[in-house]
Structure 1
Amino acid sequence: MVDKLRGAVGGYLHRVAAVRVPHVTLAEDARPLVPRWPFPVFAAVLVLLNLPVYGFSLGYGPAAIPASLLLAAPVAVARSRPMLGWAIGLIPLIVFLPVHRLLFPETMTPFPWLANQLAAHLPVIYLVALSAPRVICYPAVLITMIAGLSAIPQGFGYSASVVIQGGVIWTLATVLAVVLGRTRLQRRDATIQLAEEQSQLRVLEERTRIARELHDVVAHHMSVIAVQASTARYRIPTERSAEVDREFQSIGAAARTSLQELRQVLEVLRGATPPTPALADLPKLVESTRAAGVPVRLIMDQAPEPRPDLQYAAYRIVQEALSNVVRHAPAAATTIRVTDDHGALAVEVINDPPATPVRSGPGGHGLTGMRERAASIGGTVQAGPTDAGGYRVAALLPLSVPNPEGRS
């Protein structure tokens, strides 16, 4: 418990020390939201103005030099280290009044709301509000308010109305500086968010344009394939077997199916919601794979009917696994099992070794896509060679909706 508390405090202090003035945008070379040069200039002006105030009006004499430097130091530091400037700025709020009463009781009391101190206080609290996250900014402002208002009960030797009025003015000025800082930070964040959304919109528009062009090109070639496969039996003068005719019909059907899926992809990019395949469509997928020369056996035993997103994921996993069989193990006997497995849908695709070795091409993204699709609904995919020399793809997809927060 102590270690956790120490770690939490250490992490919080690290975040406090890491506070910096933000930039206009998230780019590393972007200009800062607040320029640097005004703060050292203003700090120097404060020193020059406070030297006669503390040296003559308040009777500090030579002590006016450290007093003036202490009052101006937070302004000089806050632009580079906002929270360090804030911490230094607490010292005059807490120390000036009791020390002055002890050493210079006969002169005017330097209340925090006097102009010379208020001018040094407001830029620092503004930078804190502009730079720090809420979890750091608001506690810092609260501590500042307590430290500043603690001067009110120490000043009742003077007119109570004047002291309270000064405290109210100081409080309102502090709140105004915080509001201005937070407002500017929120406006900057909103501008960045709008720019990001516009950038994403441009990317999506470009993807849609590319998809349309790709659809036109691919659809043209697929249409040619479908037409040629459908008319081949009329254009080829020689005798053909029924098996050859069925092969041409299968090629035409596959081309038309591909055209339909291309249109669905384009509709998705345009914002439409096309119908998604489900487990009931697996027999059609199996038939098209058989027509490609792969003997496939389908075993389905699942109940109750899974939810649509799970069915879609299972269908795509089977489709990708069969595509891998066609590419890497043509004509290899393949078995598909879709069954219940203790609250999950088990999908398994196993193929025998190919009759003739197939040269492996460059690796694709099929297995990665299957794993990502399964992970999106809380499932897993395992893939690898079997002892018999074939290949096995096994997915386990939970029937219940996964809870992202891990709550019961």
Structure 2
Amino acid sequence: MAEQIRRTGFGPPWLRGALVPGADGTGDGPDRGGKLSRLPWFTSVLIAVFVMVGTGFAAQAQPDREPLDAFARVLLLAGPALLLLRHRYPVRCVFGVCLSAMIYLGAGYPYGPIFITVAVACFAAIVSGHRKAAWWAIGLLWAGHLLVGHLLYRVLPPSGDAAAPWGPEAGVSAWVVAVLVGSELVRVRREQWIHDRAERAAAEARRADEERLRIARELHDVLAHSISVINVQAGVGLALLDSDPEQARTALTTIKAASKEALGEVRQVLDTLRTSGDAPRTPAPGLDRLPELVEQAAGAGLTVQLQNEGEPVALTPGADLAAFRIVQEALTNVVRHSGSRTARVRVGYGAGLLTLRIDDAGPATGDEAGGSGNGLVGMRERAAALGGTIEAGPRPDGGFRVRATLPLKPKETP
């Protein structure tokens, strides 16, 4: 997880700054103004004040320890000063803080809140992903504490010091374990938070991609059908403009109606983008509009026979729209690619399935149709989204057949 954050720069500011150089003003490298990135001054100064004041009070209760002199105060300030680099150089920081604490203890100065700097440095190293360094640093500090308290006390100040009792060592060990375990728990919790957030972002991206695909499919189906009708009628109008002006007028009337229908459906699709989450102003087309589709196909010179089999069932809006678009795209392909001027559409209800079958007698014209080639792909995607299938290919006796099966889920009634 830490490596992923370093590579992508994704994550909350407190962790991104610890892992990614120059991120959020806490990493390495210059900012846009060319200055060094902002350091955690406030917390470091606050810790320094607490350590200095707290150690002064603690020294009053430990008259047997060495008095606080200038060197002691330098060591007390060294830890907070190193904490300024805990985001940029967490490993150097934790080892440096532990070293300054070890020198302070070896010099015989009073015990006190200097260990807070150790805890903060350890926490920063573990959260930034340098777990082994933190464990080694605090482990060496603990071992050095045992060495000073039980072996080197004879040669180290204060003079006349005795060996440290073993009883309090249990408390020191518990403190070390508490710091390490607490840091690890925070690290795991925050990494889980980042993982969950990344999953939510990925899910949102997938939903956005699916929505873009749905809109692209809708626009393709609307425009492909209407423009195919317009293309055919424009050719008829141009051919008959001089010899049969009345028939050319009819072709232009068909073009006007088809373009108006296309503009209305495109506007409906775009309205869903402008008013996200709101219900569309007009209902989406469904199988009840197949007669209109047959009429539009007739305007393109295609005679369509419409046949229903079984007892019709009111479908869910998604299934109804998908079924309509599949029939629309299949008829559009007949207009574009088939030399036949007739097609048959069968809509079957039964056995828990809605069956659509669109046949034309062919043959294929072989002419450049000007399409995008996404028609069959779009039909398959619509069917697959509902758990259905699409079969499309030449018929044994010539022509072309599209057969779609969709799970029949009746619309729920209140």
Shorter-chain TM-score: what band?
A: 0.5 to 0.7
Which runs of structure 2 are paired with 1:319-330 in the superposition (5 Å)? Answer: 319-330=328-339
Corresponding residue of 1:260: 264
CA distance in 2, matches of 1:392, 1:42: 73
The answer as to 2:119 corresponding to 1:110 is no
SS in 2 for 1:281: helix
Cα gap change, 1:264 to 1:308, in 2 (>3 Å): same
1:135-170 alpha-carbon deviations (Å, 9 max, x no partner) = x87xxxxxxxxxxxxxxxxxxxxxxxxxxxxxxxxx
Corresponding residue of 2:302: 294
**How many Å apart are 1:320 and its aligned residue?**
1.1
CA distance in 2, matches of 1:79, 1:364: 52
Cα gap change, 1:45 to 1:96, in 2 (>3 Å): closer
Give the aligned residue type for 1:278.
Answer: G
The answer as to 2:94 corresponding to 1:42 is yes
CA distance in 2, matches of 1:92, 1:327: 80
**How many Å apart are 1:281 and its aligned residue?**
0.4
Is residue 44–residue 72 contact of structure 1 (8 Å, CA) maintained in 2? no
Cα gap change, 1:99 to 1:42, in 2 (>3 Å): closer
The answer as to 2:126 corresponding to 1:78 is yes
SS in 2 for 1:109: helix
CA distance in 1, matches of 2:104, 2:255: 96
CA distance in 2, matches of 1:53, 1:108: 18
Deviates more, 1:352-361 or 1:72-81: 72-81
Match of 2:313 among 304, 307, 316: 304
Give the aligned residue type for 1:364.
Answer: G
Deviates more, 1:303-312 or 1:81-90: 81-90
Cα gap change, 1:342 to 1:85, in 2 (>3 Å): farther
Which runs of structure 2 are paired with 1:6-405 in the superposition (5 Å)? Answer: 19=2, 22=5, 25-26=9-10, 31=22, 35-51=87-103, 53=105, 78=126, 81-82=129-130, 84=132, 106-107=165-166, 109-112=168-171, 122=179, 125-126=182-183, 129=186, 131-133=187-189, 240=245, 246-271=250-275, 273=280, 274-301=282-309, 302-354=311-363, 356-359=365-368, 361=370, 363-400=372-409
TM-score scaled by length of structure 1: 0.54
**How many Å apart are 1:102 and its aligned residue?**
11
Q: What is the root-mean-square deviation of aligned Cα atoms in Å?
A: 5.3
1:278-323 alpha-carbon deviations (Å, 9 max, x no partner) = 1110011012102211222111224322222211110011111111
CA distance in 2, matches of 1:30, 1:329: 62
Cα gap change, 1:76 to 1:305, in 2 (>3 Å): closer
Is residue 86–residue 125 contact of structure 1 (8 Å, CA) maintained in 2? no
SS in 2 for 1:132: helix
CA distance in 1, matches of 2:364, 2:90: 80
CA distance in 1, matches of 2:396, 2:139: 76
Deviates more, 1:80-89 or 1:376-385: 80-89
Cα gap change, 1:397 to 1:82, in 2 (>3 Å): farther
**How many Å apart are 1:254 and its aligned residue?**
1.5
Give the aligned residue type for 1:110.
Answer: E
CA distance in 2, matches of 1:246, 1:21: 64
Is residue 123–residue 179 contact of structure 2 (8 Å, CA) maintained in 1? no
1:228-249 alpha-carbon deviations (Å, 9 max, x no partner) = 99xx9xxx797656x5554343
CA distance in 2, matches of 1:96, 1:52: 11
**How many Å apart are 1:378 and its aligned residue?**
2.2
Is residue 21–residue 82 contact of structure 1 (8 Å, CA) maintained in 2? no
1:109-144 alpha-carbon deviations (Å, 9 max, x no partner) = 2245689x56x9648844752x4347x87xxxxxxx
Q: Between Structure 1 and Structure 2, how many residues are aligned?
A: 293
Is residue 19–residue 83 contact of structure 1 (8 Å, CA) maintained in 2? no
SS in 1 for 2:168: coil
CA distance in 1, matches of 2:297, 2:377: 22
Give the aligned residue type for 1:281.
Answer: R
Give the aligned residue type for 1:78.
Answer: I
Deviates more, 1:315-324 or 1:21-30: 21-30
Cα gap change, 1:89 to 1:371, in 2 (>3 Å): farther
CA distance in 2, matches of 1:308, 1:48: 71
Cα gap change, 1:307 to 1:123, in 2 (>3 Å): same
Give the aligned residue type for 2:259.
Answer: A
CA distance in 2, matches of 1:21, 1:102: 45
1:330-358 alpha-carbon deviations (Å, 9 max, x no partner) = 44431111112420111121222237442
Is residue 300–residue 339 contact of structure 1 (8 Å, CA) maintained in 2? yes
CA distance in 2, matches of 1:110, 1:298: 91
CA distance in 2, matches of 1:123, 1:337: 71
CA distance in 2, matches of 1:300, 1:100: 95
Corresponding residue of 2:82: none
CA distance in 1, matches of 2:142, 2:399: 79
CA distance in 2, matches of 1:262, 1:73: 60
Identity of aligned residues (%): 30
Cα gap change, 1:238 to 1:321, in 2 (>3 Å): closer
**How many Å apart are 1:257 and its aligned residue?**
1.4
Corresponding residue of 1:148: none
Give the aligned residue type for 1:376.
Answer: A
Is residue 102–residue 144 contact of structure 2 (8 Å, CA) maintained in 1? no
CA distance in 1, matches of 2:326, 2:4: 49
Corresponding residue of 2:44: none
